[in-house]
Each structure stands twice: as C-alpha cells, then as structure tokens.
Structure 1
Amino acid sequence: MKILIVEDDQVIREGVSEYLKEFRYSVEEAADGKEALEKFDSSIDLVILDIQIPYINGLDVLKEIRKKSELPILILTAFSDEEYKIDAFTNLADGYIEKPFSLPLLKVRVDSLIKKYSGSAEKFEYNDTEVNFTSYTAKLRGKEVDMNAKELEILKYLLENQGQALTRSQIIDNVWKETDEIPFDRVIDVYIKELRKKLELDCIVTIRNVGYKLERK
C-alpha cells in the first residue's frame, strides 16, 4: 500500500514516514500543497493530509483530490476549532487526528481505512483498464474484454490484499469454493498470465518462490 504524507513540519513528516515504512507501507512525502498535487496519482492508496501547509492549504488539496478520486484521506490538524472539522468532512475527508498524536494511534487509523476501502472494492481502475466486480465486466481502453469469472475473482482477491505477497495456495483457498473442483496450484499461473495479457496489468508482480502480489506502479 502506498501512502502520501503531506506535512510541512519535517520532523513530523519524516517521523510518520519512517514509522509506517516499518510496517511495509510504501511512502511518498510532500512538504506543501503544490508538491502534494504534483505527487498525487493513481498509485496512491491513502493520503495523510495536514491542513496548515504552504502554497495550497490542506482543505483545497482535499477538494482537488476529490475531483478525481474517492481514496481515503486522513486529516491532520492542530486545531480544535469545529469549523475546520466541518469543512474537512463537507469536502469528504474520512477522518481527522489532532496534533499532537501518537504514531501507534495513527497507524491504527491508517490500517482501518485501508482495510475498509480495499476490502469492499467493487471496482478497479488501472491505467486503461476498468473492472466492475459486481457485473463481472472488464474494459481495456473503453472496449469490453471477455473475461473468465475466476480471473476476475483472483484479481479482486489480489486487490483486497494489495501490496501483500500471496501464495498460490492462499489464492486457491480464498477464491475456490468447497463445491468447486480444486485445481493444482500451478493453474494460478495460467490465470495470472491471462489477466496480464487481456487487461495489460503490469501491476501483478511475481514474487519468486512465493506467488504474486498486486502493486500499482
């Protein structure tokens, strides 16, 4: 999972960054609102956003991100003033933490938001690919692609565990039902090959001697 930390206080920013990296989160840092918008792209899974930052304030950064994405955004604020909180939630923030805060508490909030959003994913968008897991449909550059149901179920499982290396056995245990005929684990390689080919998904990475993981580039 990739997190964008937007905070002008270098000590706080680097402290949060190093702490989250210990738990295998990938981190991007921005010291002001302008840099935040420059670094924000489809590879980001969550934003930790301070309100009082130079050039473009945090609430305006929030508004700009919401024009293009519904990903989780956690607001950092030193203010107890309700107006800032109301403003943040009006612009669809997913929560706030007041400074000073503890790093373990921040991590709990981050873990919770990541789980909430990735665990309930019904759509997947990556580069020119669009997948709807409710209707079991997929498009590449706007054109429908004929997909096998198990291919999409594997993709969804990878998405729900984004950033984690999954073994072939884990994929089989979580995608195949008890009533299904259980395949040999190497069959997963065939499904992954088809997903990459049909939907041009270079975000499905092979982990040697382990299995696969989904990691947006």
Structure 2
Amino acid sequence: MAVDLVILTLRSSKLQVLLVERGVAPYSGLQALPGGFLNNAAEDIEGAAHRELSEEAHLDGAQLHLEQLGTYGKPGRDPRGRVISVAYLAIAPSLPEPIAGTDAASASWRPVDDVLSGGLNLAFDHQQILADGVERARAKLERTALGTAFCPEIFTISDLQKVYEAVWGVSLDPRNFYRKVQGVPGFLVPVESTRRTTKGRPARLYRAGTRAVLSPPLTRPEHPIPVEEER
C-alpha cells in the first residue's frame, strides 16, 4: 500500500504541481509526484501522506487540506510488484519552495501544462493521477468559492478571472465572466473603493463573500480557447 500526492498552487499566474526527482530505482532520475509506501500496518493512510510530503519536500501537510482523490491499483503500474496507491489532492495559494529529502534528489514546482501536454514524462502512472487531480481542481472552481483564496484580500474581478483562466487553462470573455460572478449571490462583496487601471474606467474592488458553494455554478466554456502564451 502506498500514497501519492497531487499538490497544486498558482505561481507566476500558472497552475503548478509539486514534483520530485526520484533518486532511487525504479525510474531513478525521472520526475514523480511525492509519495511512498506506508511504514507499517499500523500507520494511518492519511498520516502516511502527511509524512511523505514532509520527508520528500519539507512541506507541512497539516497546513493543507488533503482530500482523497482516488485509488490506483492497475496491475503493472509499479515494476516492483502489485502496489495499490491512495492519491490525495491539495490546492492552496502561496506555497513555499520545497526542499528535497529522503529518496528525492530534488523537489520543485512545475507548470501543469508542461506535464499534461506530454512535454514532461512522469514515473509510474503519475501522469494519469495528475490529470485526475487537475480535473478535480477545475471542477471545484466551478462549484465552490476556491478561486477567491488565490486572490489578495481585496481584488478586482479581473484578478479573479486570471485565477480561473490559469486553473481551467482557457481564455475567458471578460464581460461574460463579470456577468456570471455577479449572478452568484454571496460570492463577492463590493468594497467602497476603486483601483486605477492603465486605461479606461477605474476597476471596482471586491472581497470574498460568505458563500462557499456556488449556486448557480460557474461552468467552464463548452468550447474552450487555450490561454495565449503572452497576454
């Protein structure tokens, strides 16, 4: 029995995932999600996830909300034998630089697009686990107020739109996005101030409201347009 962790954050306006370079066989030298085997039959599975995150990247899992993503047990997923892994997902803003430890040669944040596009291959079946974790994160932005956690305390709707574009991996029409977020009661609360923009009218400021579950949800575009490399 093993655990794997999909830890996502926003850095440089891009959705990034925590990866470690494996320092031992199998797949020595390849990038992988942090994780590993349970120490013994008495170790709690979620406890093992917290321990591995601390040992491999020196990140405090107790400060993250880990939720179970899924169980992966396809025969042949690990060349050492039959291994069943419970994957956990955490999505959080402003996570620090990781520090490699135990059997990880290095640890770093890497753009999710580099992996999902096939530009970076991961060990084991971690490509699939990451894809599942990103899809879960994208769905959470549709149904919950998670997006505001990645904004400053006071922000513009344009700031929030950049979060949704980074996580969903699409470009959004500003007017349509404005209409949608304004149509969710309790999602955003206006602040009696404005922020000067480079052109046009000053932008209105908002803070996060008390609504945790969005109704109606902010659905992703049916025909998404990829985010441009330079905006």
Same topology, TM > 0.5: no
As a proportion of its length, which structure holds more helix?
1
- Which structure is higher in strand share? 2
Higher relative contact order (CA 8 A, sep 6+): 2
Structure-1-length-normalised TM-score: 0.35
